[in-house]
Amino acid sequence: MNNFNIRPKDLTDQEYFYGHKACAGCGATIAVRLALKVLGERTYSVLPANCMSAVSFIYPQMAFTTNAIISPFASTGAMLSGVAAGARALGIKDFQTVGFAGDGGTADIGFQALSGAIDRGDDIIYICYDNEAYMNTGIQKSGLTPYGTKTTTSPAGENLPGAVTQKKNMFEIVAAHGIAYAATASIGYPNDFLRKLNKAKEVRGPVFLHILASCPTGWGSKTELTVELAKEAVDSGLWYLAEYENDEFTLNKNPKEFIPVEEYLFKQGRFKHLKEKDINVIIEQRDKKWEKIRKSWL
Amino acid sequence: MKSNRKFVSGDEAVALGVRLARPHIISAYPITPQTIVVERLADFVEDGSLKAEYMHVESEHSAMAAAMGVSSVGARAFTATSSQGLLHMAECVHYASGARFPIVMMNANRSIAVPWSIYGDQRDSLSMLDSGWIQVYVEDAQEALDMMIQAYKVAENPEVMTPFMVNLDGFVLTHTYEPIELPEQEMVDQFLPMYQTGNKMSMDEPKSLCFSTSPADNQEFKVMQHMAMEGSVDVIRQVDAEYGKVFGRSYHGLTESYRCDDADAVLMTLGSVTGTVRCVVDELREKGFKVGVFKIRFMRPFPKDEVMALGKAVSKLGVLEKNISFGNEGTVFTNVNSALMALDTKVQSKNYVGGLGGRDITKDHIRAIFMDLLNHDRFEERVEFIGMGCEINE
């Protein structure tokens, strides 16, 4: 069996994504930068309307040194398929086609096109960088915004605790398509992410990587805590690292004990308002999820 | 010239034309009455007569997004749509022209809901007039086939680089069988060589496409797009003339004038109704009425010069169209009058709107239109709805 481990020192010194206008401490840029270092220079990137396209494609300053294109918001999956098919038809060999869509662009408006691309079995990599809201437009609730999150469209007050829905379960929804390979990741666990990217590069057929990427602006957190928060999300059990392949789920990290969720939540302005009963809802949801995970994925 | 006659529907003629143009990828979603086009193309891919990939997309929005992906690496893309599908695709239709991707699309003209109707009028494509696409309206299956080949040649011209929509009237054209001449593949290959462009993502010279601009730059891009569309007028004429030389058929450029030279009244048309009007013109000419028909083939770029030349020669013009811009008048009429405004002489013009939701426009209607035009020096009504089934109470 292939060992897909890749050491950080094996990464190329080449930068394929730099000179962009992202906020200080942006987690998504870490995901994109690392991904391109693994996927290499023969990569076509497709980005819908999102932070990464907004900060890196403003004429005449382009931040991608590899091929990249902005797709219509709803169309990451479809344009990825088109690029891959076009390149194949022209006889171009040895290339990667990767999409970098945000949580809203993936779980909401772009969901149909993602589903279609997986259904076609196209040889594409779809990376959802998840900062848990529509950040680019001013921090509005998306389908991947967790319960209790204060956003500009899910305000917290006397009547509501912020968002009242749970994160859509994109990983398992995607897996239910019978996708070639799907995985969750976090920029707080870069080695795990690198291994999954390396694997994604080798897999033939559609790949979905769902990476949690903290966002100081949207989360109301200190810029230097970006990576730490993404790690704590995993350590507190509010995010998990897993893979799906050949009809099987694998849990990559099974913490013996979770760090208290408050430790993670209260470092962020978006959760500062949460009351004890809301925290209890979050813990209850988490425990229920982990019970299922441990029962069926281990 | 070697040729091959076939008896096909308009949709099948489109599919045959597309096969001759050798697109790399067909990304399409089915919708009545476009469906036969994509079914035939799927057959051609299956039987190996078209070396292309048929991409099953999950919506028209994705069909155009995929086509843009194909075009973004420099490959040739085709799709087809109709009505609600075109509207669902609308965001991407604008996107493709801004990106300057020379995608060719067939649109089966069909009414727009509500009320639901699968039958033909031209409100779908005319609502996309400002999307930056070249738009041609064909009269018969032969013209449909020939235009698929011409469309790629025009769209891919380095000075044009603009997507191209070929419109066929739903059912009247898409599902009617007619004899056509099928050009030889080798001749088409010579006429339409492999697409070459610098506007693509390339491994040798990586590029960022479909970028953002600030207000400091955006307008220049839009003006360039406008200039390319204006410049396509000459390219359309050249390509049509060259096509005529090679294949023995040309379509008179952006418009076609029939018995207009000495006419007292001319009716302007769009699409398949032209054939019916031509018959009525012949009948009326035999009876001594000096009438003609002027087929507007291209709505974008708009044939301003040709319309002005007609306006100089004829004093009374009717515009017959299957479209209404609610609260105003037919869109074709607006465009025609805008061109006529530049003339010193005042031309009397009147808008005849009919055929909405697929209603027939009969020879009787057309005769009545010509009589209306001939018998009045001034028109009190600007817009007349023809073929009304009942009175609508006021």
Which residue in chain A has the smallest CA separation from B217? A59
Is the backbone of residue B62 left (phi > 0), alpha (psi -120 to 50) or beta? alpha
Interface touch A89/B208, C-beta < 8 Å: no
- Contact, A44 vs A95, CB < 8 A? yes
Model ipTM?
A: 0.96
Which residue in chain A has the smallest CA separation from B211? A57
Q: A212 in helix, strand or coil?
A: strand
Which residue in chain A has the smallest CA separation from B24? A89
Amino acid occupying residue B335? N
A chain contacts of residue B69, beta-carbon cutoff 8 Å: 46, 69, 71, 78-86
Chains A and B: how many Cβ contacts under 8 Å? 154
Each residue's pLDDT tens digit, B63-105: 999 999 999 999 999 999 999 999 999 999 999 999 999 999 9
Alpha helices in chain B, H assignment, sequence order: 10-21, 35-46, 60-72, 83-98, 123-126, 141-155, 185-191, 218-247, 273-286, 304-313, 331-340, 363-375
Count of other CB atoms within 10 angstroms of residue B119: 20
Give the closest of B55, B212, B217 to A81, CB-based: B55
Each residue's pLDDT expressed in tens, for chain A with a length of 298 residues? 467 888 888 899 999 999 999 999 999 999 999 999 999 999 999 999 999 999 999 999 999 999 999 999 999 999 999 999 999 999 999 999 999 999 999 999 999 999 999 999 999 999 999 999 999 999 999 999 999 999 999 999 999 999 999 999 999 999 999 999 999 999 999 999 999 999 999 999 999 999 999 999 999 999 999 999 999 999 999 999 999 999 999 999 999 999 999 999 999 999 999 999 999 999 999 999 999 999 999 8
Distances A54 to A70, A140, B318 between C-alpha atoms, Å: 9, 17, 49
Which tokens is A12 given? 């190329």
Interface touch A119/B66, C-beta < 8 Å: no
Give the closest of A62, A68, A78 to B66, CB-based: A78
Which residue in chain A has the smallest CA separation from B209? A69
Which tokens is A108 given? 């909401």
Which tokens is A86 given? 């076009």
B chain contacts of residue A74, beta-carbon cutoff 8 Å: 61, 65, 91
Give the closest of A57, A84, A119 to B208, CB-based: A57
- Contact, B381 vs B369, CB < 8 A? no
The candidate with the shortest Cα–Cα distance to A21, out of B159, B211, B200, is B211
Distances B288 to A162, B148, B263, B291, B374 between C-alpha atoms, Å: 79, 39, 11, 9, 12
- Contact, B333 vs B319, CB < 8 A? yes
Each residue's pLDDT expressed in tens, for chain B with a length of 394 residues? 455 999 999 999 999 999 999 999 999 999 999 999 999 999 999 999 999 999 999 999 999 999 999 999 999 999 999 999 999 999 999 999 999 999 999 999 999 999 999 999 999 999 999 999 999 999 999 999 999 999 999 999 999 999 999 999 999 999 999 999 999 999 999 999 999 999 999 999 999 999 999 999 999 999 999 999 999 999 999 999 999 999 999 999 999 999 999 999 999 999 999 999 999 999 999 999 999 999 999 999 999 999 999 999 999 999 999 999 999 999 999 999 999 999 988 899 999 999 999 999 999 999 999 999 999 999 999 999 999 988 887 6
Within chain A, strands assigned E span: 43-47, 57-58, 61-62, 67-70, 96-101, 125-130, 181-186, 207-212, 242-245, 248-251
Interface touch A86/B65, C-beta < 8 Å: no
Interface touch B61/A70, C-beta < 8 Å: no
